[in-house]
Amino acid sequence: MIDLHTHTSASDGTLEFGELVLEAKRVGLNAIAITDHDSVDSAMKITGREPVKTIPGIEITVFDSEFDYEDIHVLGLFINPKNILLSKTLKKLEKEREDQKKATIVKLQELGYEITFDQVRKKAAGSIGRPHIAKTLIEKYPQEFRSIGEVFDKLLDRHGKAYVERKTFFGFRAAISLIKNSGGLSFIAHPGHYPYDKKLIADFKAVGGDGIEVYYNYHLNQKKISENESTRLIENYHSISCEFDLLESGGSDFHGANKGHALGEFSVPDELLISLKKQLRKPL
């Protein structure tokens, strides 16, 4: 089996690059993709000599004013992490992520939670994510929060009291163009997470998107979804990918102890990798 959606400590995962690769080998995966949020720091470490096939990727957060979509995640697979345009753009996006987290901490302070950006910064090996804020809150307020999920439910999810939107309007066209420019293929990540219908997928394809993440363990990453419902979603998005003639990808969204505790436990067929490789383009 393969897993084309994993995160390292370069964004909001808990395992370093080498640790993740070794864990993938231990659980018997044939291939993984490193898809950190707005970061290619770990993808840059891929040498081709890893004990499992390791694919450079990225997960880009999109706020699209053209189509009026908010907080959509776009995966780029088989990218060239050394692409100059990609590097320049990611520096800008990383600054926006940091500004968002600072604004979130200000909101938390206004709500009476005495944490600072420096305290959160120490929790992150790479870019700062909401799990790092959650870990800081758990450490300071153990009587109120027992898990990252509890912090998200109360404060950090989209409808949480301390949630702050990203101010960027980096849309589908820009994300797809950036991924294509670096030689990669673009996919809507976990399409079942969003409150939009098939129009989201139609619009994504219309501006050059390559595919959707069909295989995804919703029931492990979203507690309100049962395993049966997760299976139904996978079947639904497989049908949609056929309807729109889109490529299919899949992965666990593994973050280590932060989220997606399922590396090697979620089945994504090897055959996907073969079909994706046939579509690869050379980076510009």
Three-state helix/strand/coil letters over the chain? CEEEEECCCCCCCCCCHHHHHHHHHHCCCCEEEECCECCCCCHHHCCCCCCCEEEEEEEEEEEECCCCEEEEEEEEECCCCCCHHHHHHHHHHHHHHHHHHHHHHHHHHHCCCCCCHHHHHCCCCCCCCHHHHHHHHHHHCCCCCCCHHHHHHHHHCCCCCCCCCCCCCCCHHHHHHHHHHCCCEEEECCHHHCCCCCHHHHHHHHCCCCEEEEEECHHHHCCCCCHHHHHHHHHHHHHHHHHCCCEEEEECCECHHHCCCCCCCCCCCCHHHHHHHCCCCCCC
Same domain, 182 and 258: yes
Please tell me the predicted confidence (pLDDT) of residue 200.
Answer: 96
Range of the domain at 18: 2-81+169-277
Choosing from 156, 189, 210, the residue where a domain stops is 156
Q: Looking at the domain assignment, is residue 67 inside a domain?
A: yes
181 and 253, same domain (yes or no): yes
* pLDDT given for residue 91 in this prediction: 87
My answer on whether 55 and 182 are in the same domain is: yes
Per-residue pLDDT of the chain (284 residues; tens, 9 = 90+): 999 999 999 988 889 999 999 999 999 999 999 999 989 999 999 999 999 999 999 999 898 888 989 889 999 999 999 999 999 998 888 888 888 889 999 999 999 999 999 998 888 777 778 888 998 999 999 999 988 888 988 998 878 899 888 766 689 999 999 999 999 999 999 999 998 889 999 999 999 999 999 999 888 777 678 889 989 999 999 999 999 999 999 999 998 876 656 788 888 999 999 999 999 865 54
The pTM of this model reads: 0.83
- Residue 133 shares a structural domain with residue 42: no
Q: Is residue 161 part of a domain?
A: no
Domain count, the chain: 2
**Whether residue 273 sits in one domain with residue 184:** yes
Which of these three, 135, 156, 177, is where a domain ends?
Answer: 156
